[in-house]
Amino acid sequence: MEKGDLRRHPRAEIAAPIQLSWTDHNGQERLVSGRILDISENGMRVESPEPVVPRAYVNFRAERLNLQGSASVRSCKKQGTKYLAGLEFSGGLKWKPKQKG
């Protein structure tokens, strides 16, 4: 773990498509396609074309990783024309890398 890094689990860089859905402040259902940038046992960082509100819950599906569930939005910041969101898995969901062999 790097100095100043408060994460409990190491992140693995990974590039995979992801679908995110949530209900916005106006009660409208939002559905966007984004990209996973990295992932750990308890969460992931994703790139989205739209901002997601911190502390909101999103549902997600990443077919390539065989991973779906819900997550709490821990952070979201604009970077260029996209948004980077930090998501923490909820409901006891854990991610484990596939074992090779």
Summarize pLDDT for 91-101 with one digit per residue, the tens: 889 888 776 55
Has residue 5 been placed in a domain?
no
Q: Check which CATH number belongs to the domain holding 64 and give it.
A: 2.40.10.220
pLDDT tens for each residue of 34-89? 999 999 999 999 999 999 988 899 999 999 999 999 999 999 999 999 999 999 99
At a CB cut-off of 8 Å and minimum separation 6, what does 15 contact? 35, 36, 37
**Structural domain boundaries, residue 40:** 12-89
Has residue 98 been placed in a domain?
no
Has residue 18 been placed in a domain?
yes
Using the predicted structure, report yes or no on whether residue 3 has a pLDDT greater than 80: no
Question: Using 50, 70 and 90 to split pLDDT, how confident is the model at 8?
Answer: low
pLDDT at position 85 is: 97
Report angle CA 8, 15, 51 to the nearest 5 degrees.
75
pLDDT at position 66 is: 92
Has residue 100 been placed in a domain?
no
Nearest to 43 by CA among 16, 8, 78, 76: 8
Has residue 54 been placed in a domain?
yes
Cα 27 versus chain centre, distance? 21
Mean pLDDT, residues 16-21 taken together: 97
Domain count along the chain: 1
Has residue 74 been placed in a domain?
yes
